[in-house]
Homo-oligomer: A and B are copies of this chain.
Amino acid sequence: MIQVKEDGPLRLIVGPHPRLDSPMPNSPLNIDLIRRSPFFAAAGEAAMEGLLRSSFAQRLPRGTVVFEQHERADFLHLLLEGSVGLRAEDEAGHATIVEIFGPGELFLAPAAVLRMPCSASGVLLVDSRVLMIPADAFREAIGTDLALSRATVELLSRHWRLMVDQVVDLKLRPAERRVARFLARRVPEEAGAGPVGLAEPRTAIAARLGMTPETLSRALAALEARGAIRLSARRADVADRAALLEADTFPKRVRVR
């Protein structure tokens, strides 16, 4: 079921419909996590039940590629715990991380819906638990269940907006500010301060933010020097979320249209 390619990253390999033979069946804990995800909340219990029947959860080590760019998607993935990066490679073989998703996120790499090749690979950035939902079952369910279909529209809309945000970030904000915003986004909503985990490798975070690891490192150091955060291994303590977003660094250009 899981197989290691000797000279490459761990690659997940599964047969067409490997239902209940999973290493981790849907425990109550899972169900609870799943129910809290914005997607299933919108889809409703009924749809959820139906989909879960053919799904299964897995605990997978970091580095696992859960789906591969340019290949068709056989599963949708709901992250129960951990962190995935969507990695896209250009024709020259250079890669970035397009987005990083955390627990509760469903990424149906719209490929699954369109029956098109994935536009990115899914790589686990830390050891994770993933709920695997067969794409066929999903596509079928979406064709009969309006609530589910509607939930999907909302999910995609949210994800589209995330990407818009990122494009704006890349185009308008300098590296240091992008880092600051990234950290701020990870501070629990209303809490104005607190620790944020940076469990994923720096390289991945840097790629997500559109910069090199060196620049990320320097930006973090600068933020620390400024007193906005305190760094320790695999995490950063945010002193003041609002201060992080302060506009003290210079912006870019205005002219449009």
Footprint of B on A, CB under 8 Å?
9, 63, 85-88, 90-98, 110-111, 113-114, 119-120, 123, 125, 142-144, 146, 149-150, 152-154, 156-161, 163-168, 170-173, 201, 203-204, 207, 210, 212-213, 247, 251-257
Contact = CB atoms under 8 A, between A and B. Distances in A.
15 contacts: A90-B168, A92-B251, A94-B251, A94-B252, A95-B254, A110-B156, A110-B158, A143-B146, A144-B146, A146-B146, A153-B156, A167-B210, A203-B255, A204-B257, A212-B255
Contact of A153 (B149, B171, B172): B149
A136 to B, nearest CB: 15
A231 to B, nearest CB: 21
5 residue pairs, one from A and one from B, having the closest CB atoms:
A110-B157, A163-B163, A156-B156, A149-B149, A96-B171
Contact of A91 (B150, B152, B247): B247
Given A142-B150, A167-B170, A85 B158 contact: no
B119 A172 contact: no
> Within the oligomer, what is the number of copies of this chain?
2
Nearest to A112: B157
B256 A161 contact: no
A110 B207 contact: no
Contacts of A163: 160, 163-164, 166-167
Nearest to A168: B88
B157 A113 contact: yes
Nearest to A167: B98
Most buried by B among A85, A161, A213: A161
Nearest to A159: B160
A254 B92 CA distance: 10
